[in-house]
Each structure stands twice: as structure tokens, then as C-alpha cells.
A = this chain, B = another copy of it.
């Protein structure tokens, strides 16, 4: 089996855009969604929330993809690095701090005033990565809407996925239209990708794109571990003038979302595409079965680490079993009021 060294990083942050009613399922309520990225990092690192006062579940009770990612990492020899691009709530994990801040609602004139700082800090972090291969994932509720806005600002296809089974595309388009208008970008392309993030993006897009640009500069093979948010990262990378090989690794649930067109995005951004089927519809796992019904779909690097697990020959049923156990433990903790 392969013995390449792999580093896995999750870029975490918040945007006030997630507070818009009906826009995200990455947390049960808008208030709880504030804690989702911090909790996701803790679940990946420790298997459970530590400082975060909540276990992220969707409004329908679907567990965060972080439990799947954690289940994979327990079986792989992979270095994990949590990156704080602009968290709104404290996390108990050690993070690389990119000097960012939570993003504003993109309907304001400027969404991420610190975009250039975060991008540059992230690029320095990326250049310093010494692994053969880097997987980059994200956690930011509301991130598909900000991704859509940045894709639009860059003149790219802007079909994006959703953590909800019924993608609230009309709502997203309305928010994005308002965001572009507020930033003077309605009908115009942003001058450069960092400008697009500053105007209508989120801190995670800046942090992830900067990391990728830096790592590619350093000759590291990069896999974007996620769906349409990571495709937006790819668009930022391409618009930064970087045209080396880049893979988008996602789940079959995200790829099956016709509203998202991840295949079209990959083709137009010169990305290789890797779609892994974790088989959550097999076996009797109600906690995971929701994924097969289109809830959550992707996030916290899940598609990328599943692909790595497949490549390294880890049986998928072991991962499913462990993810279910983790999800059940988290659920019982929540019920017991520990958080």
C-alpha cells in the first residue's frame, strides 16, 4: 500500500450569512450554527466536542460529517491540522491562526474586510507544508451561499449544493443578487479573486485558497476535499493564475445533487474529479441513512478522507460502523445534557 505522507487540514470559520433563515442545515438553529465549525474541529481531533457547547446536527437530526471524517482518521496515518480562518466561537483544538475574523452577512457592502490578510497568512502556511500530499476541507455554515456569490463574482458557473435535502436555490440566488449589488459587482466581474472574497465571500474561502496556492507553489499534490465550496476555492486558485493539477474529491451524495453540477464545475475549472461512494444506504444505520437521502451530503473534508481510505484499502463497512458509534455517543451526550 501507499506510504506517501499526507496532511489533512480543515479550514474553519463563520459568516453571518448563515443566520439567514432557511439557508443552512449545518446546525439545528442559527444560534447553534455559530458553534458548528468549532465543534467540528473538536470532533475531528478528539471524537467529541470539548469547549463547544453543542454537537452539530442538522434540523432533522443528521450528524455532522465530522463524525465520518473522525471515523476515517482513526484508521489512517494522517497528520491533521485545524486552521482558524475566522471562528466566531472558541474551539478546544490547537489551530493555525490566520488572523481572520468571522465574515459579515454578504448582503453588506463588504463581507470579509480581512480577506487579503487571511489569504496571505494562509499562503505562508501552505508554502511551509512538507507532506507529499495535502487534503483541504472546510467547515462553515452558510458556505454554499458565499461560494455561489464568489463564483458569480468571478464569472464562473455558480450552481452550488446544499446541506438541506431541498436546496433553497431561489433564496440563495436572492441573497447573492443582493450581495453583488451591495458590493457594486452586479453584472461586473471582480478585479481579482481576493477582491471577490472581500466583497461577497467568507473567511474560509480566503484561508483555503491561500493554503492551496501556497502548497501548490511548494510542489505538494493538493486534493480539495469537499463539494461546491471547494470548487469555489478552486475557482479562486485558478483566477490567482495557478494552473497545475488539482483534484476535487467529494461524496456520491454531493455528486448526485443535480442542483449542484459539480461535474460541470470540475470540467470548467480543469479539475480532476474523484467521487467516493461510502455506501451509507447499505446496512441499517439510521444515523447515516439521511446522507443517502441528501441531507448534509459533504463537509469537514469527508469526501477527501473517504477517497484516501478507499485508496489505502480500509473497508468501508468498518468506517460506517465506527461513524455510527461516534454519532450515537454524541447523541447520548447531548441527551444527557453534558453540553
Q: With A and B bound together, what is the CA distance between A267 and B256 in angstroms? A: 7
Q: Mark A96-126 against chain B: 1 for CB-CB distance below 8 A, else 0.
A: 0000000000000000000000000000000
Q: Give chain B residues whose Cβ lies under 8 Å from the Cβ of A274.
A: 272-275
Q: With A and B bound together, what is the CA distance between A266 and B3 in angstroms? A: 28
Tell me if A's interface is mostly helix, strand, loop or mixed: mixed
- Contact present for A267 and B279 (CB under 8 Å): no
The answer to the question of A338 belonging to the interface, with a C-beta cut-off of 8 Å to chain B, is: no
Q: Give chain B residues whose Cβ lies under 8 Å from the Cβ of A255.
A: 263, 266-267, 273
Knowing A4-B1, A245-B316 are in contact, say whether A270-B266 is a contact too (CB < 8 A). Answer: no
Question: Of B3, B132, B267, which contacts A252 at CB under 8 A?
Answer: B267
Q: Give chain B residues whose Cβ lies under 8 Å from the Cβ of A275.
A: 263, 266, 272-275
Docked complex: A222-268 residues within 8 A CB-CB of B? 245, 247, 252, 255-256, 263-264, 266-267
Q: With A and B bound together, what is the CA distance between A277 and B245 in angstroms? A: 9
User: Which chain B residue lies CB-closest to A1?
Assistant: B4
A266 to chain B, nearest CB (A): 7
A13 to chain B, nearest CB (A): 29
A237 to chain B, nearest CB (A): 14
User: Which chain B residue lies CB-closest to A246?
Assistant: B277
Docked complex: A265-299 residues within 8 A CB-CB of B? 266-267, 270-277, 279
Q: With A and B bound together, what is the CA distance between A307 and B245 in angstroms? A: 11
A3 to chain B, nearest CB (A): 8
- Contact present for A313 and B221 (CB under 8 Å): yes
Q: With A and B bound together, what is the CA distance between A307 and B267 in angstroms? A: 15
A314 to chain B, nearest CB (A): 10
The answer to the question of A332 belonging to the interface, with a C-beta cut-off of 8 Å to chain B, is: no
Chain B CB count within 10 A is highest, among A256, A277, A279, for A277
User: Which chain B residue lies CB-closest to A256?
Assistant: B267
Chain A residues with CB under 8 Å of chain B are 1-4, 132, 221, 245, 247, 252, 255-256, 263-264, 266-267, 270-277, 279, 307, 310, 313, 316
- Please, could you name 22 A-B residue pairs with CB atoms under 8 Å apart, sorted by A? A1-B132, A2-B2, A2-B3, A3-B3, A221-B313, A245-B310, A252-B267, A252-B272, A255-B266, A255-B273, A256-B263, A256-B264, A266-B277, A267-B277, A270-B277, A272-B274, A272-B275, A272-B310, A273-B273, A273-B274, A274-B274, A274-B275
